[in-house]
Structure 1
Amino acid sequence: MLKFRARLTLILMLMIGVSMLIAGIFMAKLLEDSHIKELEANLVRELRVIEMTGDWNKAGDLAFLVPYYTSQTKRLKEFTDARVTYIREDGKVLGDSDENPEELDNHAGRSEIQEANREGVGYAIRYSDTLKRNMLYAAIPVKTAGGEKTGYLRLAISLEQVENTIRHLWLFLLIGLGILFLIAGVTSYRIARGLTRPIENITNVAKQITNRNYKARVETKSLDEVGQLGQAINRMADSLHMQMNRILENEGRLKGVLENMGSGILMVDRDQRIVLVNRSAEDILGFSSNELYGKKYDEAKQQFELTRLIQECIETNEPIREEIIFYYPSERILEINLSPISQADGEWSGVLVVLHDITAMRRLERMRSEFVANVSHELKTPIAAVKGFSETLLAGALDDKETARSFLQIIFDESERLNRLVGDILELSKIESKRIPLQLSPTHLQSIIQKSLDMMKAEADKKKIALSMNVDEALFLEADEDRLRQILINLMANGINYTPEGGRVSVSAELAGSGTDGEDERIRISIKDTGIGIPKKDLPRIFERFYRVDKARSRSSGGTGLGLSIVKHLVEMHHGTIRVESEVGYGTEFIIELPVIHP
């Protein structure tokens, strides 16, 4: 902008300077021509006077005529203050006021003489070799009374005065031009500054807007074209600021949605490069966005099946939906939806890939299917027994009272088992659907464990199993007393059922965390038996519904296969954990950890 201002100032100065110079030259030339014209007119008048007052037609030889006309010319010079010359008609100089006529050349070829011969008056300006300066010559012909030309009178004056006048004029003109240049320079600079400063301000604001500083504004002090341009820039900045805020807001929303979506999003552009990867896609594919972003889909680290589907979508330009099992970074089932992206004109511009992790859903469907199959199987066994023995009784077994009593006992036991099974299924359903809220209250742990042991004493006595407890009297925790008792009874019953006669079931409780160093205070409850134990291969699955280590032994013990699953759900509802340690032939220990205070 400073260069532009300097150029504009220089242009204005040159325009003013050239204009003044041309005007000065024109004035000087006009003055010079006017002065010379005036001198020429004066010389002609003087020549007419000289012609009328003198005798220029003397007869005689050169010896007489030259001195005579020389004296005449010298006398006239005193009055005219100019060089006077008389020239005969053939060009011979007969008299001259300044030079010896005998030494002068023939003047017939002089321009003023020739012009006087043609026009009646002749003028010439030339450098005089004799006088060494520019001279103005004026000549008229001399005629006899009959009109015959006999010679020429010529006056010559020096142009030194005219040249001095013109020289002074040029000096004055140059001084004036210099002063004018100085004034013009200051004026031009101020004019240029007045023109360029608003433009410079507008340019700076435009640069700031280009650098995304949309708060920059032009200060407008006038309503001329530059001021209107500044106002237009301000309106444009307001519009850009509003649009960018809207774009950033929408971008933030879109980014928030993409980053917090449970589904993975992958986008491939028209150059077949990956241009979008959200956080869920990173987790699902097992690669960070830095490893995928900007690379071609067939060169980036990813699953071969996904690369194949993208290639197929690009080639067919049709949506694709498929379920694929991925084994990296872990085994999971993915639902992959690929959709070609087109612009408004229908031109293909990329592929959008949406990844859904449906592993949990498929596992839930499998568990539901297995649960229905297990429930059907478990319900079918007691129902078949009840039906079979009832048919036998109806067929005539009622007549044999001992057989009838035995069959009725079996029917009663199976109906009881069926009742327990239905009850456990309903209980588990309520617990899993969280339709039974916990009624939390301070609970004295020793009392509730003692009551649970008392309830199981009769069952233990049948098998001569010893029950014992080791619980500090000062232990309290926040829990649902009924649900906690249900947990303890289920685990104790499990220990009694799978412990041979003469065995032992013990319950202990202790603090697992003191609450220091940011650790939550927890209580650890252990139910340990000396039973048959559980093989290591079955330990990970014992909390599954209807899972039995020894199916024949479980049914004979009257278990439904849902007790441990109910226990696990109730423990988790108390924000606790349960684990099992067991060794075949030596017994099993269930370890529960519960928080003293719920969050």
Structure 2
Amino acid sequence: MLRLNQIFFYHLTLLLSILFFVVSTISYFALKNIEIEHYQKTLQNSIILIESQITGSNNLDGLVKNIKSLTNQRITVIDGRGKVIAESDFDKNEMENHANRPEIKEARENGWGSSIRYSSTLKENLLYVAKKSYKNSEPVYIRAAITLKTIQNNFYALWLKFLAVFGFFILFSLGVSYFLSKKIKMEINKIINFLDSIAKKEYKKSLKVNFAKEFEEIGEYLRNLTKKLQKREEKKEKFTKKLKQISRQRSELISAISHEFKNPVAIINGYTQALLEDDSMDEKLRRKFLEKIYNASNKISNMIDRLSIAIKFENNDLEPKKSEFDICYVVKDAVKLMKDKYKNREIVIKCEPYKVIADKTMIEMVLINLIDNALKYSETDVKVEIKEGEIRVIDKGIGIKNEDIEKITRKFYRARRNSWDNSMGLGLYLVSYILELHGSKLKIDSEYGKGSIFSFRL
């Protein structure tokens, strides 16, 4: 399996190669058309310059041959019936009637005509430009032509220069991407080594990762983790029983950082295998296993949803789609959903119709997170009420310590470090962010050991 920096480098190389091929193909045809248009205008200018000489000359054969020697352009003069009356490159008496030549027909109708075709006289492809004029009050057509070999040679020279410049840009981009991939690899190796030192209980090692903001956040999180683990280790002799619990949670926390989905997947695999291997399993036990599988799958789904929404919010990819609705109905829907999840818990609703203007989906998510949080950290009834325009979720659970209240809405922060349940500490972070998008703020009133009140206004 490839490393992250190798995947990044190979994919960028493939992308640039495809871009090079597409741009080269497009530029080939674009530059070719530009070059042909340039020579078409050059031939038109030549005809304009020699028109007065041709219409006033009595020696057309000598004149067109002289022009040929000066401009290297084939010059042909054709009368109104299509007969060639002067030709710079071939015997005019042996030439066919030109009345039906595409450029002559177009010039007869529009004054100017042009075409690219094979010359049966010179046995090669030429660009022709013809202009309708008059000599002694009779219509004549002055035609100038140039071989496509000249155009192609000039075009290829220009295109090669373009490819050289683009190739240099590709090489430069690959060099930059290689440098970035190396930097990413270095930062990842630092984190891996630091995690390895944590596993070995070497807490005094430092971690400095500052290549990007995401690495800084990971580094800060791991440094905070190390400090807390170190303090717990220092109390080992006095709190032996507590130390075992902390050590177990430390391992779970480190495992959750790199394998957030490992535990629910293991649950699903284990119970599914047991169901498959035992066809005669008791129905009650089978139902219990199926409930375990269902709950684990819900955990995975919730983790994915929360991570996805957190990333979108952090990148400012979502904007509230506000509408007017009755918040009381949304409260009832959220409570109904939570009752399905917590079948043995009581949720009391106290609200009257109250209109708000907000994003209904986001506010429902706020209520679900607050109610779920209240149910998770309490064992008695949870109350949801709307009072004087304020939406409140009240529980009589464990409460929150004063030093944790300001930190609890941070991403990945969890006040109860010893009860890791793969929630990832995103619930209140999302709530706070959604309310900020609505010009509101989450208010937390809590007394440790007695309960909490989470409230906000719209």
TM-score for the superposition, normalised by structure 2: 0.43
Q: Which has the higher strand share?
A: 1
